[in-house]
Every structure is written in structure tokens, then in C-alpha cells.
């Protein structure tokens, strides 16, 4: 439904042209959840504003069913696409319900009066995002996360065919972010909408997106299933400059750590899994089973409470938390380094 042809995005100021990204050719299908990912300043917001018709492209076109979005009138455009940006809204004196009601404007008559059907759509949208308890409250009194939900409800009430959401999960805590991604995915599937969302949440995007648009800084946008982009190494290289390593095996980013030593990890289940995370954070490799057995062994003992033992060099230390385990590892490996 949405086609991007030979698009160059960027800014024109005082006759000077700054290109943010170019050579973008893409399409967005109905029922698809697409996550736009890229480092800060790569041009995600610029691309979204351009796709939404809020900013002129430097070159190329954005077509919705063959019509250029930049040629559509505001009302016409609002029927097709809803945009949610993180920018603060000047709507503090409205109740959440009234703000969501504004989403109906492309569908109401010129008087702007909401019909019974409009009220029903508004109610529905509020329920969908789980904002029933916010409906009567003033938008100005809401937390960032709450306001974000109301803005999403407003976009839903607009009943667009396509939704563009820029960094809307940034202010939300993890459970809410997971919930919002689920909601968006379900919406895409159940209502056949195309949803484009930019997010910092790489892990969540990798798990939830049907497709990822990956925009590296100064590079070329690449699109594919999240797994395609991991396999091709595109992911790793897009974020290579950010001081984090992408671990393609786990599909997660990790802060780069100096290797300080190697241990054998014994244990299973969640305790062993989170012990491995502590080791990784400390720059301690877990022995893979190949090569010589390391002299230090970390044992995660199941049970309640969970306990740990570190053995090696004739010393055994018992620990009751991963915090203490990390301290002990630092002590042991600092000693062997000298």
C-alpha cells in the first residue's frame, strides 16, 4: 500500500542541502509490523516525518496506493495515516477522552460533532490501549507513559490504514513496552493495518517485527526479516560504532568488556543463565567444553535460596549473591593478572 521510490531525506536550509540518507526504495504491506532501527541521529525521525508527508523529501516520492502523500490534503491524509511522535502535545487542558475524540476529525462532518458511532470508536480505542482509567483525566496531568497511551488511542480512533509511531516506547517501562509491541502486532494482524514504528528497543524489535528497516548512520537503509539482518551481519555493522558488540548467537547487544579470564560454569536453569550474564558482564568467558579445563569453577547451586561456590587454586568460596560473586571474581582474576 505504501511505496517509497528513490527517496532522499534531509534538510534544506538557506539553499544549502543536507542529505541524511538516500537511495531508499521500500514498500510497506498491509498487516505488517515494521520496526525502524538505527543509532541515534541516523535519520529515523526524519524518515518517518517524510513518509508521513510532514516533511518534503529532497528527492524521490512516497506513494500511498499510487498517490503522492505530499499531494494529499490534511483530511485526506489523516484518513490514510496516523502519526504519533514523542514531541509534547499542546493539549494539557483536554481530558484524555476529548483528545482521543480529536482523532475522529477526518471522519466527522464540518461541525466536528461526534456521532454515536464516533463515540463508540473512541471508547474502543481507549479500551484497546488499556487507558480506561485515564479517560476522564486531563492530558496535562498524565505521566509520559500514560500520555503515550492516550496518543496511541487517538491514532487508533482515527481509523487510519497505516500508523507511524516514532519512539513511542521510549518513556515506558519494560512490561508496558512489551505490552505495546504486542498490541501493535495484534493490530497489524487483526485489522490489516500497516504499522511502522521506530524504537530503541532492539531486543523487542528483533522478536516482534515482521520486518526491520535498518538505518545505519550515513549508510544505506536495509530491509528484511530481523533474522535476515542478523545473519547478513547488517545489524552488527549498523551498531558497530556505538561501542557495543552484537552477539549474533543470542541476538543481543553487550557492552564490550576486556577478557579477564575463563571459568567452568556448573549448574542449570535460571540461576545458571543469570550467572552467565554476571560472568559476561565481568569479562569472564564460560568454558565451552573444548580445550583445557579452566582452573576456576563457578557452581550455581539450585535451591532456595540460590547459592554459589567458586573453586580453584585450592580455595573454595561460598557466596549468597551474584553481586558478591562478581566481587570475588574481580579479586581472583585481578590476582592472577599480576
Query: Applying CB under 6 A, which residues contact ligand ADP?
Result: 11, 18, 20, 38, 40-46
Closer Cβ to ligand ADP, 43 or 271, answer by number: 43
Which residue in the block uniquely carries the three cell numbers 561456590? 309
Residue nearest to Mg ion (CB): 45
If one asks whether residue 45 binds Mg ion (CB under 5 A), the answer comes out as yes
Closer Cβ to Mg ion, 44 or 332, answer by number: 44
Residue 225 C-alpha cell reads as 526479516
Distances (CA, A) of 186 to 33, 47, 181, 192: 9, 24, 9, 9
Q: What is the 3-state secondary structure (H, E, C) of 146-194?
A: HHHHHHHHHHHHCCCCEEEEECCCCCCCHHHHHHHHHHHHHHHHHHCCE
Closer Cβ to ligand ADP, 42 or 168, answer by number: 42
Among Mg ion, ligand ADP, none, residue 57 binds (CB under 5-8 Å by kind): none
Judged by CB under 5 A, the stretch of 40-48, 122-130, 144-152, 232-240 that binds Mg ion is 40-48
CB of residue 110 to Mg ion, shortest distance in Å:
35
Per-position x/- string for 181-220, each x denoting binding to Mg ion as judged by CB under 5 A, each - no binding? ----------------------------------------
Residue 144 C-alpha cell reads as 509520559
Calculate Rg over the CA atoms of the chain: 25
Closer Cβ to Mg ion, 89 or 319, answer by number: 89
Number of residues that bind Mg ion (CB under 5 A): 2
Closer Cβ to Mg ion, 44 or 147, answer by number: 44
Closer Cβ to ligand ADP, 19 or 334, answer by number: 19
Task: Report the distance separating Cα 157 and Cα 82, nearest Å.
Answer: 9
**Could you count the other beta carbons within 10 Å of the beta carbon of residue 136?**
10
Cβ 13 vs Cβ 39: under 8 Å: no
Judged by CB under 5 A, the stretch of 43-51, 140-148, 278-286, 292-300 that binds Mg ion is 43-51
Task: Report the distance separating Cα 219 and Cα 43, nearest Å.
Answer: 10
Binding site for Mg ion (CB under 5 A): 44-45
Amino acid at each position: 500500500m505504501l511505496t517509497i521510490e528513490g527517496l532522499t531525506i534531509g534538510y534544506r536550509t538557506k539553499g544549502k542541502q543536507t542529505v541524511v540518507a538516500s537511495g531508499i526504495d521500500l514498500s510497506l504491506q498491509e498487516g505488517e509490523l515494521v520496526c525502524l532501527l538505527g543509532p541515534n541521529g541516523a535519520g529515523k525521525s526524519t524518515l518517518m516525518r517524510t513518509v508521513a508527508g510532514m516533511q518534503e523529501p529532497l528527492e524521490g516520492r512516497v506513494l500511498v496506493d499510487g498517490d503522492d502523500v505530499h499531494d494529499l490534503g490534511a483530511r485526506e491524509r489523516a484518513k490514510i495515516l496516523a502519526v504519533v511522535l514523542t514531541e509534547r502535545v499542546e493539549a494539557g487542558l483536554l481530558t484524555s477522552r476529548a483528545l482521543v475524540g480529536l482523532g475522529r476529525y477526518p471522519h466527522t462532518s464540518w461541525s466536528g460533532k461526534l456521532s454515536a458511532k464516533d463515540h463508540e470508536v473512541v471508547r474502543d480505542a481507549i479500551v484497546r490501549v488499556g487507558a480506561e482509567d485515564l479517560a476522564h483525566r486531563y492530558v496535562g496531568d498524565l505521566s509520559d507513559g500514560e500520555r503515550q497511551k492516550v496518543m496511541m488511542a487517538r491514532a487508533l480512533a482515527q481509523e487510519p490504514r497505516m500508523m507511524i509511531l516514532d519512539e513511542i516506547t521510549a518513556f515506558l517501562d519494560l512490561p508496558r513496552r512489551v505490552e505495546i509491541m504486542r498490541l501493535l502486532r495484534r493490530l497489524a494482524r487483526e485489522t490489516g493495518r500497516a504499522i511502522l514504528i521506530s524504537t530503541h528497543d532492539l531486543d523487542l524489535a528483533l522478536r516482534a517485527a515482521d520486518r526491520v528497516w535498518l538505518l545505519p548512520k550515513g549508510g544505506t537503509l536495509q530491509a528484511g526479516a530481523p533474522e535476515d539482518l542478523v545473519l547478513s551481519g547488517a545489524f552488527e555493522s549498523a551498531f558497530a560504532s556505538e561501542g557495543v558488540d552484537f552477539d549474533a548467537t543470542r541476538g543481543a547487544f553487550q557492552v564490550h568488556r576486556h577478557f579477564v579470564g575463563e571459568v567452568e560454569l556448573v549448574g542449570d536453569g535460571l540461576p545458571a543463565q543469570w550467572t552467565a550474564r554476571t560472568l559476561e558482564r565481568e569479562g569472564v568467558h564460560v568454558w565451552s567444553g573444548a580445550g583445557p579445563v579452566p582452573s576456576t569453577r563457578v557452581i550455581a547451586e539450585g535451591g532456595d535460596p540460590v547459592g554459589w561456590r567458586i573453586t580453584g587454586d585450592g580455595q573454595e568460596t561460598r557466596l549468597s549473591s551474584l553481586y558478591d560473586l562478581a566481587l570475588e571474581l574481580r579479586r581472583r582474576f585481578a590476582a592472577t593478572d599480576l
